Structure 1
């Protein structure tokens, strides 16, 4: 099975903490470097990704354009990423307060929004703060500048083709490109903000 075939469409957290406005817009373009393949054409690279936003940015996105629909705690943006994939915003009562989230849902799937909502609530209701390895890698990808991350094209080692790669530094070779999913625990820790480096691991998001 190729790397491209393994892309998950299940709900998954791609940024730890509340995104700043700058981070939110960067996350909207999280896959701008991706190859023009089937997953990009269908929006499949985005489906399932979610992150927390501020109340101000949630409300601002509601006011930019009339929403595609508005239902209680949820509204969807009128502009689609691709096919039937669009931004969906949630205002969810968690920990005694109202928190706000953005996720990409495929509206061709009637259960997508409910599954996204349920996944966010389950993840954010955890009794202790933790991150899975996948969440750590996604946080690194989300916060790494475009000059230090890429989707490997024919300029890179053939084994890297189509994979997400990031710059790492090593004493022997200096700056090198390495597949994101092959980062060691030490390399992950070096790239994470200090407050996230020692969060306990969980098996899955």
Structure 2
């Protein structure tokens, strides 16, 4: 068994409030196998501040603890729990949170390595398409996003049920509902303009 790909789902250092908002970013998701098993979260990670790291360490007795890393004893779902890492990157101490499937041997170390590789990449400061979609999802008010078929199951075929959907500017057609994964480059750029984020086309 291999771990789901590790992926950055937020940019910059999150505040404590933003961290907790990210914990609930799948509120309203359909109760399916992905949700029940915790695989909906497995592999996701983002940067936090040192205060958030210390706060979470003191919240509950950790599942495990070693220098620069600990895991939450309260699992999100299935065998997936949150792991926190303190990593020095290019001489700068930084702190991160990510979800690991603890049924896979070495998952916390895999998370740590994935973070280091992404944060030391040449394009570390430029979000890739998949990361940009996550930023858009996180920043969109709950009233303007949801899960395909959750309100009207007949509106989507079975293979699209439960996929994330979001309201977009449809031009002459007005505001329309689109699957998050189907957003066009110009729609992504429009939604990120306020953050002054320029998105690289290829993942």
Contact 1:131–1:202 (8 Å) recurs in 2: no
Normalized against structure 2, the TM-score is what?
0.90
Q: CA deviation at 1:174?
A: 2.1
Q: Which residue of 1 aligns with 2:54?
A: 59
Structure 1: gaps spanning 5 or more residues: 1-7
* 1:32 matched to 2:27: yes
Q: CA deviation at 1:161?
A: 2.2
Q: CA deviation at 1:196?
A: 4.4
Normalized against structure 1, the TM-score is what?
0.89
Q: Which residue of 1 aligns with 2:6?
A: 11
Q: Which one of 156, 159, 166 corresponds to residue 158 of structure 1?
A: 156
Q: CA deviation at 1:122?
A: 0.4
Structure 2: gaps spanning 5 or more residues: none
* 1:127 matched to 2:87: no
Contact 1:130–1:202 (8 Å) recurs in 2: no
2-side partners of 1:196 and 1:89: how far apart?
29
2-side partners of 1:27 and 1:173: how far apart?
32
2-side partners of 1:172 and 1:144: how far apart?
22
Q: Which one of 129, 139, 143 corresponds to residue 147 of structure 1?
A: 143
Q: Which residue of 2 aligns with 1:5?
A: none
**How large is the RMSD of aligned CA atoms in angstroms?**
1.7
Contact 2:185–2:201 (8 Å) recurs in 1: no
* 1:170 matched to 2:170: yes
> Counterpart of 2:74 in 1: which secondary structure?
strand
Q: Deviations over 1:34-71 (max 9, x none)?
A: 11000000000000000000111111111111211111
2-side partners of 1:27 and 1:187: how far apart?
23
> Higher strand share goes to which structure?
1
1-side partners of 2:118 and 2:149: how far apart?
34
> Counterpart of 2:172 in 1: which secondary structure?
coil
Q: Which residue of 1 aligns with 2:18?
A: 23
